[in-house]
Every structure is written in structure tokens, then in C-alpha cells.
Amino acid sequence: MIEVINVRKSIRGKEILKGVNLKVKRREVMVIAGPSGSGKSTLLRCINRLTEIDGGDILVDGISIKKYNPIQLRRNVGMVFQFPVMFEGRVKDNIAYGLRLLGKTATEKSVEKLAREVGIENLLDADASKLSGGEQQRVAIARTLALEPKVLLLDEPTASLDPENVRKIENLVLKLVRSRDLTVLWVTHDVEQAKRIGDRVAVMKDGRIVTVEDPEKILWSDVYVR
Ligand SMILES: Nc1ncnc2c1ncn2[C@@H]1O[C@H](COP(=O)(O)OP(=O)(O)OP(=O)(O)O)[C@@H](O)[C@H]1O
């Protein structure tokens, strides 16, 4: 579903990605782990062209990202960040925005359906800015799902949540992988989370992927050397 081929990226003269190679299968949850500054977020941003690559290529469903128009690409490849951004207004307005981006009429019914899918149907009229972090993350996921993505890029989406909400978001994403046939790349520093959610883990070090392995087989003490 995703094929990263020898991708290189420099930012302000510093080489951040030094030839990254990775293949992610359809319906796979691929965890991206590795020390701070190793290039994990940059890699995710390259996949949906928030950052343009300097060399190599990335194929999404067999097609080079260079051939997609960036807006179409970002519909197919949705992204969720550590800190969800809520637009002013109610939860239902935030979800409707996602639908409108797709050129769809945001009917009450379609907004409700998305809210139900992520478990916030009781919060549709709430002020989005007043929600808890976990609730806001659900709104962000619903807004992304409205675009009907095939791939979800998750950049530490649970890093600022309490353990109970961490588990809830994990379960939600795993449910969505099955119900929507999603392919997921999930950046996390949390080893236990990687074991719970990951089909495989890609370990990044200094701008390269050095290992791709079953989470239980990873030598985690080598990944996060103190
Ligand atoms: N826009 C930018 N301008 C300057 N340097 C940048 C920029 N984006 C990333 N970098 C640098 O690129 C390197 C990799 O950053 P990146 O955020 O991809 O790492 P990461 O593995 O996701 O780190 P973390 O786990 O801390 O989030 C870092 O040294 C960072 O300072």
C-alpha cells in the first residue's frame, strides 16, 4: 500500500532522511519508533507531501506521490497529530468541515454517522474547544475519516493523553483498520503501545530505517539507548 524508496530529505542544509526504504502492506499497522530527532515525523510528513522529498520516491497504492495532486493525496492519506486543532464552533461543525472538504453535503445524518463511528455522538452540540484531549482527538479522527482515507498517518496521537484514553484511542484505531480497511503508520515512543498495536515496527536511527520487525522480537534496549 505504501512503498518508500530510498527517500532523501535535507532541511536547512542538514540531511534528515538519508535513504529511507519501507514497505507497508494494506491493513497493516506499522509502528515507527526510534530516538528523538531520528526523522520519524519528517518521514510521515513526506508521505502526504506536507514536506516535499529531495530524492527517491514514495508510492501510495502503486502510484508515485509526485503524480497525485497534493489535495487528492491528503484525502487518501489522512494525518492525525499529537495536539488536535479544533476549529471554532461545535463538534458537529468540526466534523462537517471534513465532509465539505470532500465536496460532500454535510447532512445531519452523515455527521452523526461519523460521530458514532468514533464514539462522540453525545457531544455533537458541544463547543469543540471545551472538550478533553481524548475527545478532541476523536473529533480530529472523525474529521479525517470524513475524507475517506485509505491510509492514516498518526504522529504520536496519544502522547498527551491519560492511560485510559490512550487505550481507548488505540482500540478505536484498531477497530477502524478492520472496518475501513485502513493502512496505518503510527509514530510512538511508547514500547508497550508498540507491542499492543503494531503488526510490525520500523526502527529509525539517524535518518534511516535500520530494522523492520515484529514488536515482540525487537531489542527495545537497543532502540532507546540511554
Ligand atoms: N522545519 C525544520 N527546520 C529545521 N529542522 C528541522 C525541521 N523539521 C525537522 N527538523 C530536524 O530534523 C530532525 C528530525 O526531526 P523529526 O521531527 O523528523 O524527528 P523525530 O524522530 O520525529 O523526533 P521526535 O521523536 O523528537 O518527534 C531533527 O533534528 C529536527 O530538528
Tell which one of 4, 7, 11 to mutate to probe ligand 1, the residue whose CB is within 8 A of the most ligand atoms.
Answer: 11
Q: For the stretch 34-63, what's the b/e string if a residue is b when 16 or more beta carbons lie within 10 angstroms of its beta carbon?
A: beeebbbbbbbbbbbbebebeebebbbeee
Instruction: Report whether 31 contacts 194 (CB < 8 A).
Output: yes
pLDDT in tens, 17-49: 999 999 999 999 999 999 999 999 999 999 999
> Among all chains, which residue has been given the C-alpha cell 478505536?
172
- Grid coordinates of 9: 530529505
Let me know if 146 is exposed, middle or buried by CB neighbors in 10 A (0-12, 13-18, 19+). Answer: buried
Instruction: Write the residue with the smallest CA distance to atom 29 of ligand 1.
Output: 37
Q: Is any atom of ligand 1 closer than 6 Å to the C-beta of 9? A: no
3-class secondary structure, 81: coil
- Grid coordinates of 123: 457531544
Q: How far apart are CA 107 and CA 57, in angstroms?
A: 39
Q: Which residues are bridge partners to 9 per DSSP?
A: 17
pLDDT in tens, 145-174: 999 999 999 999 999 999 999 999 999 999
Cα distance from N-terminal residue to C-terminal residue, the chain: 34
User: What is the pLDDT, as a whole number, of residue 222?
Assistant: 83
Q: Is any atom of ligand 1 closer than 6 Å to the C-beta of 36? A: yes
Go through the domains of the chain in sequence order and give each one's CATH number. 2-87+147-219 (3.40.50.300)
Average of per-residue pLDDT values in the chain: 94
User: What is the pLDDT, as a whole number, of residue 226?
Assistant: 59
Q: How far apart are CA 183 and CA 100, in angstroms?
A: 24
Instruction: Write the residue with the smallest CA distance to atom 4 of ligand 1.
Output: 11
Q: Is any atom of ligand 1 closer than 6 Å to the C-beta of 84? A: no
Tell which one of 9, 10, 31, 41 to mutate to probe ligand 1, the residue whose CB is within 8 A of the most ligand atoms.
Answer: 41
Model ipTM over 0.90: yes
How far, in Å, from the CA of 121 to the mean position of ligand 1? 36
pLDDT in tens, 60-97: 999 999 999 888 898 999 999 999 999 999 999 999 98
